[in-house]
Amino acid sequence: MSIIIKQGLVVDPSQGLRAIKDVLIENGKIVRIADCIIPGTSQAINAKGLVVMPGLVDMHAHLREPGREDKETIETATMAALAGGITSVLAMPNTTPCIDSAQAAGLLQKRIQKSAKANVFVAGALTKNRKGHALTDIEGLCNKSVLAFTDDGSSVDDEKLLSSAFDICRKTGVLIVCHCEDTALSAGGTVNRGFISTSMGLRGISKESEYKRVERDINIAESAQARIHIAHVSCAESVDVIRQAKAKGVKVTAETCPHYLMLCEDDVRGFDTNKKMNPPLRSCDDRNSLKRAVIDGVIDIVSTDHAPHTENEKDIEFERAAFGVIGLETMLPVTLTALYGNDSTDLTKIAQICSTGPARILGLKKGTLSAGSDADVVIFDPEREWMVEKRGIVSKSKNSAFLGMRLKGKVIFTILNGAVAYQA
């Protein structure tokens, strides 16, 4: 089977490419990019006026299977991913059972092979049952193709244990993704601590609970000379810590999420539980700092932190509602709406932070349109506006922070392994 994508604006940071081109796909691979390719018997996609990029890579998604299939499944999550132009996701290990053993990882891989509609890669738990008391068999999990390790949703309090984990991961060459939260400082909080939390009568979550733990975890990684990736950065102080560590040569990368680039604590005033997340939406100044950090490269990538919840877990009092929002279908349009055209951010930067960058961090042969690479491609209209509506959401859960909001940027086609997997 072959496809020619005709006359789209091809944007691929891995090749320094940004030009109107044709893209030829054959047998699941990118074959050639040229000014004009004669279609022949190939399926032709007219991409005039559209952008052609490597399929997006989301290295932070909660697929909920096994254990909470009432919220999401591997099948529904990957269908939602394709609707958002995401062709590869890294599944977090906080499932039931937790992905903390070779057996659990093997069973998950079988489920992925059976029902995934997009590429799914697996992150293993750093500690057994994510309790922070004993390390998992990191080497054994690596043999089950686990790409990274994290207790995401929890931070490892035990410094000696975390140091040992960094030592092992340095030797095995795998990445540790750190959820940075000191629960001694954040416990009981539901929104950012400050004027808004006080005016709403809610207990706040201090920024110290995040950036102090970012600083600690980076220092431990530096001592071990290991790689570290900081998940879902939400505040300016964490950005400063990461910037200083990078200047020292520490092997640190970092992500923020689209919702932190577009929303702030003011958006929580209406007690909308779909804007309750951990870490919480911070101040407008923090949002602006995160935007600058993405633009100047201190924040390497954006990831969704896709966290589906049922209506029973969200449609209740704010303080009792679950933390987290979905994001697979809105990752690209929210990032475009927040950054593209507003802060001199060009499409090459968008491709870098949504595709090429996360693929590089994970060591995946994704995020590129180079000849011979897997034909994972997203084709989108960067200017088309649309409204996020519950009825249009593909994900099993509907807890989007952007319901009723107009976004800019619409995915038209998603191509996976050389075949059209989604068409608007």
CA dihedral 169, 254, 210, 152 (to 10 degrees): -50
pLDDT tens string 332-356: 999 999 998 765 679 999 999 999 9
Whole-number pLDDT of residue 328: 98
pLDDT tens string 152-193: 999 999 999 999 999 999 999 999 999 999 999 999 999 999
Whole-number pLDDT of residue 343: 59
* Mean pLDDT score of the chain: 96
Which residues are CB-neighbours of 147 under 8 A, at least 6 positions away? 90, 121, 122, 123, 174, 175, 362, 363, 364
pLDDT tens string 20-76: 999 999 999 999 999 999 877 778 999 999 999 999 999 999 999 999 999 999 999
Asked if 335 and 350 touch (Cβ cutoff 8 Å), the reply is yes
Whole-number pLDDT of residue 344: 63
pLDDT tens string 181-229: 999 999 999 999 999 999 999 999 999 999 999 999 999 999 999 999 9
| pLDDT above 80 for 17 | yes
Minimum mean pLDDT among 282-286, 341-345, 362-366: which range? 341-345
Which residues are CB-neighbours of 303 under 8 A, at least 6 positions away? 58, 59, 60, 61, 231, 232, 255, 256, 257, 331, 358
Asked if 136 and 124 touch (Cβ cutoff 8 Å), the reply is yes
Active site (catalytic) residues: 305
pLDDT tens string 142-154: 988 899 999 999 9
Asked if 177 and 152 touch (Cβ cutoff 8 Å), the reply is yes
Listed residue (114, 58, 125, 80) closest to 364, CA to CA: 58
Residue 101 exposure: Cα atoms within 13 Å on the Cβ side: 8
Burial class (CB in 10 A: 0-12, 13-18, 19+), 203: middle
Tokens of 359: 């693929």
pLDDT tens string 107-135: 999 999 999 999 999 999 999 999 999 99
Which residues are CB-neighbours of 177 under 8 A, at least 6 positions away? 59, 60, 123, 148, 149, 150, 152, 229, 231
Label residues 306-325 b or e (16+ Cβ within 10 Å = b). bbbbbeebbeeebeebbebb
Whole-number pLDDT of residue 341: 75
Please report, for residues 136, 234, 278, the alpha-carbon distance to residue 187 in angstroms, rounded to integers and kept in the order given: 26, 17, 11
Whole-number pLDDT of residue 38: 84
Listed residue (67, 148, 141, 147) closest to 101, CA to CA: 141
Q: Tokens 């969200």 belong to which residue? A: 314
Tokens of 417: 């392994």
